Structure 1
Amino acid sequence: MARAFSYTRFSRLEQRKGDSYRRQTEAAKNYADSNGLIIDESLDIDDLGNSAFRGNHAATGGLSKFIEAIENGYVKPGDVLLIENLDRLSRQAIGDAYDLLKAICNKGVIVVTLQDGKRYDRETLSNDFASLIIALSFFARGHEESLTKSDRVGKAWANKRKNISDKVLTKAMPAWLAVDASGCIVPIPERAEIVKDIYTQYVSGISPRTITAKLNSSNVDTWGTGKRKAKNWNTSYIQKILDTDYVIGNFTLHMYEHDSGKRKRVPLNTIKDYYPQVVPTDLYNRVREIRNNNKTKGRKIDNTINNIFSMVLRCNKCDSYMLRVNKSGGSVYLVCSAAKSGLQNSESQHKVCAGGYVSTRYDLIEKAFVSAVIAGKFDTDGGEALAMLDADIKTTLQQKEATSLKLSNIAASIIDGTLTGDTPLHYDVPRADGTISNWTVREEREFLELILRSADLRLEQLSIQREALKPQSVVLKLGELKRAVENESIDRARVNVILRAICKSATMDTKRKEIVFQLTHSVNPVVLGWTK
């Protein structure tokens, strides 16, 4: 009996309280029962509270685990992915969304949309024109809806920033402040006093850990409400209070920028005296001086980064970053950050990392990495990656040229009166809502224009990738990498910067004692092993 994998996604966790989750999972079960499929629940691939607009779900979310399972052979040709409709799969630009669907289907996996019962596979996407139209129409509609929503939210926040002097910008604010009945921000007296006391204790030499212990032993009530209310005070929150300038009244506006599916928070201008000041300026400045000195104390100038794999190397079990930890006796190890923190899934209560807490000596890994770099294992593979990219560019250009020619022919036919916008080109075309109707010249033009837009976006992406893969660019980066590791004292900061530039991904398998690097400039992965 064939296997099915049910993929459920919604953008905001609050939607879990509604009908979205039940509706999607129930539809998947009903389809599986009616079509003789067994739902495989071994993969936790749901994206609850993860948007499909920027592609995060496919890069690092639940869907990425399904894609990885296809690559490693766990999900096999003939297996079925069940989704409510195509905009659950992706709300990215039409080109990116279609590429994702095509990549899944090209591996032999069948995608079924439960809302209309439509099946998409490699043959369907290659030969069924009507199915292709339906897929692209769904993707175009989903992306436009998300784009409109994103633009609307962005404009709303821009308007708030513009009118910041007239009213409170947001209800979210520091826990020691509140908005009163007249709409003014005011301190909560007992909490403001605690904040000031935290600063005073710190200046007198009391550590954040000890301050935390005092608050807990004195049974001082924590801040927050509902699920956001912690059971106990924790050191990280005390440090957060010591590091914020909210306490002296500052409020920094931010905006979000998106790059390759990743959201980056960018600070804009700082508004002074936006919040009521609860800590005297001289006390705040003294704390700043102490904390800044502590950050640089005892560090070597050439060793500001102690882990060359920082924000590069991930756990192969849960995709969390590998963290450098110091143990007694001066030993240094790499461990999965999720396993170290004991993170658990809030729904299943299972540990996020199936691999558990496993520590691996950092020096062994770094030594193996340095040897591999010097031996040339990270060098270019002779331009295979560039050749594949050029072939992709050529194919996309040919598709664009063919589409432009079709549009030109339609325009010429309209001008000479052979066709009108309402002239049917295809008959009995199934629509997304289940109805059947004719496909007109107007719809054909809109469809072809969508294809042109997606081709332009694709070419733009490929051009950026090609620039980074030019032989001279790759040679320069690899030369820098070798020089950085060959120094008597390894320039770890430089190595880390270069690794971030040349690595698509790097995953560590602690059981097999190996790291797999997927490089931007090479088709073949670099597999790094080590022994005790």
Structure 2
Amino acid sequence: MAQAISYIRFSSALQRGGSSTDRQSRMIADWLKAHPDVSLSPISASDEGRSGFSGAHLQHGLGQILAAIEDGKIATGDFILIEAMDRLGRLPPLEMLSLLQRIVGAGVNVVTLEDSQTYSKESLNEKIGDLFILVGKISQAHEYSKNLSRRMKAAYESKRQKAKDGETIKRYTPFWLTSDGKIIEEWKEGIERVVEYYLKGWGPRNIVIELVSKNLIPENTTTQSVRKWLRSKALVGSWDNNGDEIENVVDAVIDRETFYRVQTEIKRREVDHSPRSTFKLSGLIKCKECGSSYYITKKMVKGYPQHSAKCLGREKKGADFCSNQKQLPYVVLLHALESYLPEQLSQLAYDSSLDEELNKISALKSERTAIDDQLNVLLDMLLSMPDQSNLKAKFEQLSASKDEIETKIANLEVSLVDRGASVSINSVVMNANMSIDEILSDDTATRETLKKTNWRIIAFDSKFSVNVGSAGNVDYEIVKRRAKFNALYVTRTVPEHEVFNESTDEYDVIEAETEWLAFVSGELVATAQSEDKVENILGEKNA
């Protein structure tokens, strides 16, 4: 039995939510009802939002159909169903005829549902009149698209020139702006919160949940929408204009320094492959053997949830990749973090004026990267169109801007070095506008702040270590479970280290020390210098 292959195409993405797909699908269904001797093939293709004028569809849906014909998966006598001949493409007439020849020459029929015409090798050879009509349709479709393309380019160029001249233009804008580029007061706080929460370490999903629930952003907002907003130059009042940025086109929401801090944070997260950030320690525990992050699991024990951390490398790639199979109790890991967290964050904090200058350096570097991207695009255009004076002028303008930015970066770095600061300090170590107390009270801010540093818990088997600054690494070991008290025994060893004594202006040596810790039902209930003393404390508590 012959088979029918459906092919749907439309050139505008705006048609995806409209009637174009539905209309073409109904026409295919009606044709199949009228031809019961033909079955619907499992092979089908669509090119939604792809141009038939540029030939983009030949690299996607239609290209797959052509490949299936060449491979024999679409056989002689089969039918390709299209709404009209221009769905097959709006290429120049000779190219369209060549495309049609590739299909009908293989014995495959093309059916245009709009006028119920069937084109085959035989019909086109025998009915010359039909061929002439077909050529007319092809030429008309191509000419229409060519004129439309020319008019759209002219309109776009006119709009772009008006924007450069400072005139108000109407264009598609994000939710917080009118079509004239003015801020909608109802949504102003929402987009400001999106930026604020993202810089505090929130993920797009949590941002959407929080702000939609407070009616600060549209109800239909998706995580993809948030990612798009955070990259939008409209935040700083600009029109990206395909890389040829035009400033002051719409009302700005944030300044450029904040915008480029956001871009730096986006890039940092793109290369951070930590496990899903649900827990305070997600992404902060690393395997000593394979370097993979630990992930957190949960199981119910006697009706109570218990969390453990396991090596993700071992879990995904097996024992040949990593021999680290032990689980570590999450409550002990969390205790280790929180025991030294205030001290750790204090060491990361620095003078607020340094923070301001380091943020400026980070923003300038991000802006320099954006200019490099624009220069690369312009360079490719200049190589293909070397006589375009406007491109040369724009290239020279961007090059001058880059030189100016590099000078500012160098001056700021020299200034920091002169003041005794290290320019290698990451300018986003501390969350902007958040004190240490605020960070400590916010699990997300704590996690994201530490992730931006080299601070990690390094673990293997039943042991792990935590860097606590002047004391070096504090070592923990899960020793055993004590059934008698339903307790977990853990040792904590602080190595010998030096501490500066301000009264004597000298360093005092602190001897190494090992403590025994006992956890019951997820809580630390006893601390002592030996196992026997811990046993005594637990015995007294349970007496």
Normalised by the length of structure 1, the TM-score is 0.44
Q: TM-score, normalised by structure 2?
A: 0.44
| Greater Rg by CA | 2
Q: Which structure's relative contact order is higher, taking Cα pairs within 8 Å and 6+ residues apart?
A: 1
